[in-house]
Structure 1
Amino acid sequence: MKPLRVAVVGVGHLGRHHARILGALPGVELVAVADSRPEQARIIAEGLKTRAVADYRELIGQVDAVSIAVPTVLHREVAGAFLERGIAAMVEKPLAGSPAEAEELVAIARASGAVLQVGHIERFNPALAALQASPIRPKFLSAERLAIYTFRSTDVGVVFDLMIHDIDLVLSLVDSPVRSVSAVGVGLFGDHEDVADARIEFENGTVANLTASRASYATSRKMRIWGTEGYASLDFGAKQATVVRPSEEFLAGGVDLEGVDLTQPSAIKEHLFGKVLRVDRVEPPTCDQLTLELQEFVAAARGEITPRVTGAAALEAVRIADRIVRSLDAHRWEGDAATSPALPAQAASALRGPHAWSRARLDRRSRATS
């Protein structure tokens, strides 16, 4: 088979791993790596024995596929340039920083016939695969994605940076249109929100509560799902899943408590989660999610499969993320800021918590537009 000519645009924290993995895949020729920082491109290229370029446009016409790991604000420009020429593109999440730009990329790919895959890497997490082996139709979902501030992805807020993962997962699990979105959020380190909490309600009645923070002391990537078939707890960080389902005996209407010491909580728990409820703890073999994702991209670029995270799927996640950001921006912590009197400097400096952060953010916006 003729090697698939591939390049990586943006070889920073994440892109360098794209280049490393693609360069090692069978049937793939890593033609070049591109980065606006020539020295960074040179270092990565030398380590992988490939070519370095500073301008990604030099690669057009020289590659069959490209993996793009540049800042979100550049996704439309960079990915669009390749998709317009019919070149398959794998774009890191989110697809774009706005629904309008995401829609343009999907339209360009559709018009040119180019493959467009988006890097929602949690779709390849073994914990999710374990859930798919024990299907549960969600009625209520709760997710938390907490991270320490890394000073990366500062061109977007935590909704487009971290929560977008869980938005995509929820949309892939719930087969129903979104009815409403409400959210609150605060910014700590800049003009974008760093902590956010969102509630998504679907037309079929399903509800999802999502929490994301990039200002957390500890990290956590977990999701809990409740449905009529049972309950699932997914730990995306540990790549583990626990699925709890009613036993056949319980479904048949019988709960035998004979021999159970009801005065001992431990005995009740052991009986409940073993006889009444079936507990399956799944610890799938460790795998490299990024490798799986890029292997799928290579197969899709060759026309062998359709990627599981298409441009259309990623567009829906961007649309919901945008609704969440607009909802949290509209929230007022202390009434309507437009009509609130300005606080004296000494009073403002004494404020603590979301009100102070929200006011500082609004003050910056006011100065920017004045």
Structure 2
Amino acid sequence: MLKIGVLGTGHLGKIHLKCIQLAVETYDLVGFYDPNPAMAKAVAEQFNIRAFASVEALIQAVDVVDIVTPTTTHFALAVQVIQAGKHVFIEKPLTHTIAEAEELIRLSKEYGVQVQVGHVERFNPALLALENTDLNPMFIEAHRLAAFNPRGTDVSVVLDLMIHDLDIVLSMVDAKPTKVSANGVAVVSETPDIANARIEFDNGCVANLTASRISMKQMRKVRFFQRDAYISLDFLEKNAQVVRLYDQDAANLPENANLLEWHTPQGVKMLHIDMPPIESVNAIKMELESFADSIVNHTTPKVSIEDGYQALKLAYEIIREIDQGSWKVDLTKE
């Protein structure tokens, strides 16, 4: 069993504490550190766990450190953890800057520790339901809309919300992004509150992503379009739908009642609608357990530090495009 400690006990930090306490077969929750004495006292009483007096003391007492603090503090804390030879889980986004992320990658290799980034949507039941589905998307459309919440407005909506979908798209598309087009508007904060980005990949795939934190309704949907198939995911409602076209005489034609005739320019096709079974899971608990498994078995974490870096890098390309106000940036040019 791995000894783990948590840095940061804000809204999300408390959720992590609860989930770690549920993972009783995986982790021994040693305690936490929070710089606010009043907060530390309250959390220690609420969870009946130790509040450490310093970051250094907590690091020395554990095998794994879970960083759930403001993004601007991720780098300095992670450096301390890694240089102490301890494994680290870091909430998204990985770091505040690209240079910081690159340095953490270097340090994690130098000290031989595991790092996982908290892109929790990778563990959403809707996405997990597609594990046995052949995916080769050529067009992707994502909408992530939320009501305004002052928490998180210190960064652009691209880093606050869109980065979830950037990570998902990068994990799904086996190709490199080549061009970005983006626009965004700051409505109630000092950074963009709504943004749209179009990402082109070198295999021809195109992703169109919209994120807003000033919406009247919540939405977290992603749609994948590929040859003879349409896949829809609802991360909020946690469901998935796969619509696929087959030739009438296809050897792999599903044998069930969910088949409809579909007249196309190429002739009659058989349309099959599938609703993959959804397993109810605690996504944060699952991602933390997955990290423990990668540590014990010396395997690459499901959301590696390199994955977190690539999502962050693409997010900053989008932010740069929004800041410049031009409509297209060619990433293939120096």
Q: Offset of 1:27 from its aligned partner?
A: 4.3
Q: Which residue of 2 aligns with 1:31?
A: 30
Q: Which residue of 1 aligns with 2:105?
A: 106
- Cα distance between partner residues in 2 of 1:86 and 1:329: 39
Q: How does 1:221-370 map to 2 (within 5 A)?
A: 221-249=220-248, 271-272=261-262, 276-331=270-325
On the 8 A contact 1:73/1:155 being kept in 2, the answer is no
Q: Offset of 1:99 from its aligned partner?
A: 1.1
The structure that is strand-richer by fraction is 2
Q: Which residue of 2 aligns with 1:362?
A: none
Q: What percent of counterpart residues are identical?
A: 41
On the 8 A contact 1:131/1:232 being kept in 2, the answer is no
Q: Deviations over 1:34-58 (max 9, x none)?
A: 1121221222222222111353222
Q: Which residue of 2 aligns with 1:139?
A: 138
Change (3 A) 1:250 1:159: farther
* Bigger-Rg structure (1/2): 1
- Cα distance between partner residues in 2 of 1:27 and 1:137: 35
Q: Which residue of 1 aligns with 2:255?
A: none
SS of 1:325 mapped into structure 2: helix
On the 8 A contact 1:6/1:66 being kept in 2, the answer is yes
- Cα distance between partner residues in 1 of 2:248 and 2:39: 62
Q: Offset of 1:229 from its aligned partner?
A: 4.1
Q: What residue ranges of structure 1 are gaps of 5+ in the alignment?
A: 253-268, 334-370
- Cα distance between partner residues in 2 of 1:315 and 1:162: 16
SS of 2:248 mapped into structure 1: helix
Q: Which residue of 2 aligns with 1:82?
A: 81
- Cα distance between partner residues in 2 of 1:331 and 1:322: 14
Q: Which residue of 1 aligns with 2:330?
A: none
SS of 2:144 mapped into structure 1: strand
On the 8 A contact 2:26/2:289 being kept in 1, the answer is no
The structure that is helix-richer by fraction is 1
On the 8 A contact 1:91/1:119 being kept in 2, the answer is yes
TM-score, with length taken from structure 2: 0.89
Q: Which residue of 2 aligns with 1:348?
A: none
1:207 maps to 2:201? no
On the 8 A contact 1:250/1:276 being kept in 2, the answer is no
Read off the aligned partner of 1:10 and give its amino acid letter: G
SS of 1:237 mapped into structure 2: coil
Change (3 A) 1:298 1:42: farther
Q: Offset of 1:228 from its aligned partner?
A: 1.0
What value does the CA root-mean-square deviation take over the aligned residues? Answer: 2.0
1:181 maps to 2:180? yes
On the 8 A contact 1:223/1:233 being kept in 2, the answer is yes
Q: How does 1:45-56 map to 2 (within 5 A)?
A: 45-53=44-52, 55-56=54-55
Read off the aligned partner of 1:220 and give its amino acid letter: M
On the 8 A contact 1:38/1:53 being kept in 2, the answer is no
On the 8 A contact 1:75/1:96 being kept in 2, the answer is yes
Equivalent residues, number: 315
On the 8 A contact 2:87/2:114 being kept in 1, the answer is yes
Q: Deviations over 1:317-355 (max 9, x none)?
A: 00000000000111179xxxxxxxxxxxxxxxxxxxxxx
TM-score, with length taken from structure 1: 0.81
Q: Offset of 1:29 from its aligned partner?
A: 1.6
- Cα distance between partner residues in 2 of 1:76 and 1:167: 21
Change (3 A) 1:41 1:182: same
Q: Which residue of 2 aligns with 1:20?
A: 18
- Cα distance between partner residues in 2 of 1:48 and 1:181: 45
Q: Which residue of 2 aligns with 1:360?
A: none
Q: Offset of 1:270 from its aligned partner?
A: 5.9
- Cα distance between partner residues in 1 of 2:45 and 2:292: 23
Q: Deviations over 1:239-284 (max 9, x none)?
A: 11110111241769xxxxxxxxxxxxxxxx9644997211101240
Change (3 A) 1:54 1:147: farther
Change (3 A) 1:27 1:313: closer
Q: Deviations over 1:105-158 (max 9, x none)?
A: 111111111110000011111211222322120100000000011111122111
- Cα distance between partner residues in 1 of 2:45 and 2:142: 41
Quick check: 306-315 or 40-49, which moved more?
40-49
Read off the aligned partner of 2:27 and give its amino acid letter: V
